[in-house]
Amino acid sequence: MVLRALIPILLLLVAEPAFTQFERTHVNISCPCTLTSSDGEKAELAFGISNNRDDVVDELYATLAIAGTRLSSTSQMVDYTAFVDTVALNVNVEPHSAIDSQSFELDLGAIPEGTYYFEVLLHENEIVGGNPRLDSIWFEGEWSAPISTLSLRDANYLIDSDDDGIDDINERLEGTDPNDPNSYPPDPVIDILFLHEEFSFEHYNTSPNSFIAHVLAVTNDIYERSNSPVQFRAVGVQDSSEIPEISDGESLEESRYLELLEEYDADIVLVYRTRDTWCTRR
């Protein structure tokens, strides 16, 4: 299975559209950034701001957001994202200048029981859904709710204290020593379950297994020559006679998709279709 080292990357890819689907601007959050709470009700958010515009920035807001899983009414863990609180910063940042870290108080409110990552958004309109959104940062690590205390810092994946090519955050996730260059996680392997309709590979004039083996060999070679320590591996190849749910262009139900992941110990499921040459997740 894929290493937990990839979880923060995947989380960013999945959660980005929910909160930060915007282009970077000339007004940015400056870190180090912290999020702390001593009682689980009020939180203190601290960060600096840089302004590379030609005009004064004087109407800024920060919104705290969460992304993770919560406990549903049926006692199941389900995906959950929400905005927690928005605060007016009441600061003036002169053109082409910066202000040092300042603290702002937020209400944590009633965060549902679950496990979450925290993110802060910087924006110019009081309503977070408005434009423009200026910048955002994620805080390191998951946190469980109900919350009694918080002590978080910004997730800086550029810090590699021992220069071993693995950032400190992922070393901590994997239980290796971020200060020892001889202590680092093994290279991640992504296990893929391939599904295909009956005649998906007919126009390639080869068998499904041969085609998939070729795709994996080329992909792994590209990553290796790019000095990217990631490998992809097939854990199964099944057609629509064995997985009839994909017949006639139908998508897998989420429950069936998760069932297949568990059955084959796979990280992802890829489906080849007969009518085109596209490959989809499910």
In sequence order, the 6+-apart residues with CB closer than 8 A to the CB of 91 are 49, 58, 60, 99, 102
8 A C-beta contact, residue 169 and residue 157: yes
Give pLDDT, residue 282: 47
Round to whole Å and give the CA distance between 99 and 28.
11
Class of domain 4-153 as given by CATH = mainly beta
Q: Provide the whole-model pTM.
A: 0.65
Distances (CA, A) of 142 to 45, 101, 151: 17, 24, 11
Q: CA 49 from chain center: how many Å?
A: 24
Structure tokens at 198: 């009956």
Mean pLDDT by 10 residues, the chain (282 residues): 43 41 70 95 96 93 94 85 94 95 93 93 82 87 91 92 90 91 91 90 85 95 91 94 83 87 94 65 48
At position 241, the amino acid (one-letter code) is S
Of 124, 91, 116, 121, nearest to 106 by C-alpha is: 121
3-state secondary structure of 153: strand
pLDDT for residue 160: 93
Is 179 buried (19+), middle (13-18) or exposed (0-12) by CB count in 10 A? exposed
Q: What pLDDT, on the 0 to 100 scale, is given for residue 109? A: 86
**pLDDT value for 148:** 92
Distance of alpha carbon 191 from alpha carbon 68, whole angstroms: 23
Task: Write the single-letter amino acid at 137.
Answer: I
- CATH 2.60.40.10 segments of the chain: 4-153
